[in-house]
Amino acid sequence: MSFRAVLIAATASLAAGVLGQVIGHNQVRPFLEPEPVTFSQKAAVKYKPQLKIEDGCHPYPAVQKDGSISGGLKWSGPQDGECTGSKLGSQIYARSKWVNDVWAIMYAWYFPKGRGAVPAPLILRLFGHRHNWEYAIVWIDNPELENSTILGVSISASISYASETPPEANHVDGESVKLEYYYNHLFGSTSLQLTEDTGEFQDLVTWDQLTKLARYSLNNTDWDETLFNLAGLKMPLKDGEFDELLNKAWPF
């Protein structure tokens, strides 16, 4: 191998193992929604949920093509202070796999700030923290079938998970589950819940459609800046976390 080839390989290896720079939450450029090619990608687009923002931040992109990540927002002021939507566009992330003969599509949204869910300490639920991730899992029978069916939905809730198997008719619009991001006054946390109201869609990018740099940043960024990681914040689709959450949320 020539010296030039070795240098290029070493540079590429180094680049793939270095986190992108931290930039302002309103400076992160989302991935445009690519044309789906595989059965997995087509199913992720077909069943993409809609999200209504009842309280708190709107979803923002967490990472861009070069691996640069959002710096989030320090908790202060109103719950949607400085985070009512990025002028560059929003983002929804997805990753899929078979679980016990059921096809699971996990969708994730990033918010620049939020309030911790139980069992996070009360102080984190009262005063909030930088960064927040929420996710929903749509369970279907088979992504390769044209007439595939939603078997259930599981969502990250204030305590553990909330599931419907199958989802109630008023919680689905066509093939899209309707979700709401809200503030749970009982538990003092921002989280998701099913709703009868219509919401908005964000450009979707699947795990395999991300650049290597973007995946590396999502896998290796410590999103939990609270003392001793008390908020328990993790990117739901990251390697290891993804499988663990699917198994915990299994609703059947």
Give kind and range of the element (H or E) at residue 176. strand 176-184
Query: What confidence score (pLDDT) does residue 6 get?
Result: 36
Kind and range of the H or E run holding 194:
strand 189-194
Which amino acid does the sequence have at 243? D
How wide is the angle at C-alpha 168 spanned by C-alphas 167 and 173, nearest 5°? 85
pLDDT of residue 45: 99
DSSP secondary structure string for all residues of 81-141: TT-S--TT---EEEEEEEETTEEEEEEEEEEEEE-PPTTS-HHHHHH-EEEEEEEEEEEES
Domains of the chain, by residue range, sit at 20-249
User: pLDDT 10s digit of each residue in the chain, 252 long?
Assistant: 444 443 433 344 444 457 889 999 999 999 999 999 999 999 999 999 999 999 999 999 999 999 999 999 998 878 899 999 999 999 999 999 999 999 999 999 999 998 766 555 665 556 678 999 999 999 999 999 999 999 999 998 877 789 999 999 999 999 999 999 998 888 778 899 999 999 999 999 999 999 999 999 999 999 988 776 766 789 999 999 999 999 999 999
Q: What residues form DSSP beta bridges with 23? A: 70
Residue 150, SS3? strand
Give the span between the Cα atoms of 37 and 118, in whole angstroms: 39
Q: Which of 165, 161, 97, 152 is nearest to 134 (CA)?
A: 161
- Measured at the CA of 129, the angle between CA 123 and CA 132, to 5 degrees, comes to 125
- Give the pTM: 0.90
Of 173, 216, 172, nearest to 69 (Cα)? 216
Give the pLDDT confidence score for residue 4 in this predicted structure.
45
Peptide bond connecting 166 to the previous residue in cis, omega within 30 degrees of 0:
yes
Q: Fill in the amino acid letter for 62.
A: A
- Say how many CA atoms lie within 13 Å of 107 toward its Cβ: 29
Residue 119: cis peptide before it, omega within 30 degrees of 0: yes
**Which residues, 6 or more positions from 205, have their beta carbon under 8 angstroms from its beta carbon?**
30, 31, 33, 34, 91, 92, 93, 94
